[in-house]
């Protein structure tokens, strides 16, 4: 009988955690401030402090965080935002839904945006740079921040996959004018439903974001610009407060699994690279294989669930491909090779060893590019 290794396990199996979550839910039900309750304000205060920012604005999803963030910067028709080619489509949608144009930069072997590609794509219409810290690895921020500064445009981080990832001592979400973060149930720091947050330092932008997240209103009733309702539920804020102290342990386990994979898989497939000064959180542990589809099927037959995140590049999605501007030669090559292995914190070292043994049984398939 094969073992079953799940890609995700969203059950709450830790008794203590379940008790804490239930108590938090009960507290919200008892005080009755189901929307905009005290837990939401406390969550904002705690997240801002945790990420070393002045403000946090809790919203309903990572998509909302990006959408309201871009809107608050005043970007719209005629403006271009340079982002990456490889991300969940929410990143491009948040730009396009504001009427601005996403421009797609190429990626490097580490699957993050290539600053050289960004430099080539800059035009007078470029009004923001939006890197995604993909797989839980912070992008090469020095180069991107320099490009944004020299072009006089804001940098917006999509830190949805990288909560608490570090880059030369600085944390994901602490680099840009805005840090936009998804806290959906799949994330390293996760609510028990949809959730997101924007972190920032600028007071004026903060004021605008507070209005944007609730129908563009101030003082409860006065609408100063049309917007949507993207408020975070008090219940999710309460769950997130319970889980914040657990994030460090979740990341420790994921990093331990990643280190074990990287040791066991060396020479068999392409493994993620962690350079000096980087501390990745392994939202995904993404390998590269020259026989990716075959390997995926082989692992499936042995009870190992894997995922391709994401099989279609954003510029190749039907919604974008007709009008696209960008560079994605490397991304096209890489997207055919990537495969995410199970790495979540509920797995045991023996699960990781089993997956690695299955990959060894399948045989080496190290991609030949780049050297
Ligand atoms: C990189 C990235 N950006 C944005 C999002 C959107 O977040 P949400 O699902 O919370 O709307 C996600 C979530 O999957 C993501 O991974």
Q: What would the pLDDT profile of 135-181 be if each residue is shown by its tens digit?
A: 999 999 999 999 999 999 999 999 999 999 999 999 999 999 999 99
Query: Is 90 close to ligand 1, i.e. is its CB under 6 Å away?
Result: yes
For residue 194, give the ligand 1 atom closest to its CA. 10
Mutation probe of ligand 1 site: the residue of 104, 161, 176 with most atoms within 8 A of C-beta = 161
| Residues 239-293: tens digit of each pLDDT | 999 999 999 999 999 999 999 999 999 999 999 999 999 999 999 999 999 999 9
Which CATH code is given to the segment(s) 15-244?
3.40.640.10
Measured in Å, residue 30 CA sits from the centre of ligand 1 at 32
Question: Is the distance from the beta carbon of residue 118 to the nearest atom of ligand 1 less than 6 Å?
Answer: no
Instruction: Tell how far the Cα of 183 is from the centroid of ligand 1, in angstroms.
Output: 8
How deeply is 241 buried, as exposed, middle or buried, from its count of CB atoms within 10 A (0-12, 13-18, 19+)? middle
Q: pLDDT tens digit string along 349-358?
A: 999 999 999 9
How many whole angstroms separate alpha carbon 41 and alpha carbon 57?
Answer: 9
At 177-228, the pLDDT tens digits run 999 999 999 999 999 999 999 999 999 999 999 999 999 999 989 999 999 9
Which H or E run includes 191?
none
Examine the pLDDT at 369 and tell me if it is beyond 80.
no
CA 159 to ligand 1 centroid distance, Å: 9
Report domain extents, the chain.
15-244, 247-362
* pLDDT band, residue 368 (cuts 50/70/90): confident
User: Ligand 1 centre and the CA of 1: distance in Å?
Assistant: 36
CB atoms within 10 A of CB 344: 22
Q: How far is the CA of 268 from the centre of ligand 1 (A)?
A: 31
Identify the CATH class of 247-362.
Answer: alpha beta
CA 296 – CA 316 distance, rounded (Å): 22
- SS3 call for 105: strand
Assessment of whether the complete model's pTM goes beyond 0.95 = yes
- Our mutation pick for probing the ligand 1 site, out of 10, 60, 62, counting the most ligand atoms within 8 A of Cβ, is 62
In angstroms, the CA 162 to CA 182 distance is: 9
Q: What is the mean pLDDT of residues 105-125?
A: 98
| Ligand 1 midpoint to CA 53 (Å) | 21
> Does ligand 1 have an atom closer than 6 angstroms to the CB of 41?
no
């Amino acid at each position: 009988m094969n073992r079953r290794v799940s890609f995700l396990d969203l059950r709450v199996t830790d008794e203590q955690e379940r008790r804490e979550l239930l108590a938090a839910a009960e507290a919200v039900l008892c005080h009755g401030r189901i929307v905009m309750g005290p837990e939401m304000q406390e969550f904002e205060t705690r997240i801002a402090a945790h990420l070393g920012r002045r403000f946090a604005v809790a919203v309903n999803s990572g998509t909302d965080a990006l959408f309201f963030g871009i809107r608050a910067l005043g970007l719209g028709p005629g403006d271009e935002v340079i982002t990456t080619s490889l991300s969940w489509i929410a990143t491009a949608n948040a730009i396009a839904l504001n009427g601005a144009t996403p421009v797609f930069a190429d990626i490097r072997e580490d699957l993050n945006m290539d600053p050289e590609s960004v430099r080539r794509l800059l035009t007078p219409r470029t009004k923001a740079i939006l890197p995604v810290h993909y797989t839980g690895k912070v992008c090469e921020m020095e180069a991107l921040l320099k490009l944004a500064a020299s072009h006089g445009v804001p940098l917006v981080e999509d830190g949805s996959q990288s909560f608490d990832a570090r880059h030369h001592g600085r944390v994901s979400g602490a680099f840009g004018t805005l840090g936009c973060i998804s806290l959906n149930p799949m994330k390293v720091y996760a609510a028990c439903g949809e959730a997101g947050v924007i972190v920032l330092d600028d007071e004026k932008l903060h004021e605008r974001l507070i209005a944007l997240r609730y129908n563009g209103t101030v003082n409860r009733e006065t609408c100063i610009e049309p917007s949507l309702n993207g408020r975070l539920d008090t219940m999710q804020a309460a769950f997130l407060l319970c889980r914040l102290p657990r994030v460090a342990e979740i990341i420790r386990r994921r990093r331990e699994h990643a280190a074990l994979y990287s040791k066991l898989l060396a020479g068999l497939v392409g493994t993620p690279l962690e350079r000096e000064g980087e501390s990745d959180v392994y939202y995904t542990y993404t390998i590269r294989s020259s026989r990716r589809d075959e390997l995926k099927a082989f692992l499936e037959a042995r009870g190992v669930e894997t995922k391709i995140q994401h099989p279609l590049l954003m510029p190749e999605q039907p919604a974008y491909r007709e009008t696209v501007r960008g560079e994605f030669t490397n991304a096209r090559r890489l997207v055919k090779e990537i495969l995410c292995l199970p790495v979540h914190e509920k797995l045991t070292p023996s699960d990781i060893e089993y997956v690695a043994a299955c990959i060894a049984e399948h045989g080496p398939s190290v991609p030949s590019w780049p050297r």
